Amino acid sequence: MSTENQTKRIGRRDFLKYTVSLTTASLFMGFGSSKLFATLAPKKGGNFIKTITLNNGVKMPMLGFGTLTLKGVEGARCVADAISAGYRLLDTAMIYGNELAVGEGIKQSGIKREELFVTSKLWVVDSGYEKTMKAFASTLNKLGLEYLDLYLIHRPRGDVKGSWKAMEELYKTGKIRAIGVSNFEKSHLDELIANSKVKPVINQIESHAFFQQGMANESLKKYGIQMEAWAPFAEGRNGLFTNETLAAIGKKYNKTNAQVCLRWHFQRGIIAIPRSSQKTHIIENLQIFDFNLDHSEMQTIAALDLNKSQFPEWT
């Protein structure tokens, strides 16, 4: 889909739902003339985003929209804008306090439910069989959905076995299309797999240029579990958006550091879920399927690895 088309889709929805203000209109005109965005061949809906097949046969987009911190009316607008721009994978969690807003954004977008891939996560306080059942029902209710595409155990804390048993049951009844985990280390996965009937499809972990998680990815591949990168930009920490190495690579393709990073995740075969509250960034982050990083550029980015979390406060 071209940037112009993406912008028009957002614009049409805004026009129908709200009164289009002069400010918004001039912002859109700004998109159309921006040199930042390369034009892609027009494609229908979010089909231009490549998918990957999970170990249970379900297809999942390789690029999605993160929603941490996107709350309330503004959060709903960001989600609706992201869907209008072409994102189909949405990532939320009970602990983000925004499942209502994400649900509202989905409604505003007018896109059919079955075209979307919605992920939410079970927080630590809800671990255990009974609490998981209740938390899941509450998540569905807030999102206004009949089923989830992916439900993850957010962190390996509490009664993981009880939670997984509940998730396996929900999976078997079709209330969840795929179940997985987040922030699990090898020992957590070994224990879960040894005690369960259904293998996780995904492990969503921190991964970006400064904490690449190559070893974790190799070990996940052995299990047939797909890696998904949270904070694919490290939230801009350690100067990611101004990093000169990334900028030099981006210059060759007329791409930004953000686009180079997302392309690098994609070429590593890793799903990424960048977040943005700005329409320009929401669109920019989708424009990664019209260039290819060569082997030496992939190696150059590999050399940026500090093999260290940029979020020590969360561990």
For ligand NAP, the binding residues (CB under 6 A) are 66-68, 91, 154, 182-183, 204, 230-236, 241, 256, 258, 273-278, 281, 284-285
Residue 81 near residue 10, CB atoms below 8 Å: yes
Q: Which of 96, 129, 147, 253 is catalytic?
A: 96
Residue number closest to ligand NAP, CB atom: 66
Mark 259-285 as b/e (b = at least 16 C-beta within 10 Å). bbbbbbbbbbebbbbbbbeebbebbbb
Minimum CB separation from ligand NAP for residue 149, in Å? 14
Q: By C-alpha distance, which of 86, 150, 161 is closest to 121?
A: 150
Q: By C-alpha distance, which of 189, 181, 140, 186 is closest to 163?
A: 181
Radius of gyration, CA atoms only, the chain: 19
Q: Is 151 a catalytic residue?
A: no
Minimum CB separation from ligand NAP for residue 236, in Å? 5
Cβ proximity to ligand NAP, 44 vs 310, nearer residue: 310
Minimum CB separation from ligand NAP for residue 233, in Å? 3
Residue 147 near residue 116, CB atoms below 8 Å: no
Interatomic CA distance for residues 154 and 281, integer angstroms: 26
Secondary structure of 244-283 in HEC code, one letter for each residue = HHHHHHHHHHCCCHHHHHHHHHHHCCCEECCCCCCHHHHH
Cβ proximity to ligand NAP, 175 vs 281, nearer residue: 281
Minimum CB separation from ligand NAP for residue 232, in Å? 5
Cβ proximity to ligand NAP, 35 vs 296, nearer residue: 35
Cβ proximity to ligand NAP, 78 vs 140, nearer residue: 78
Residues tagged active-site: 96
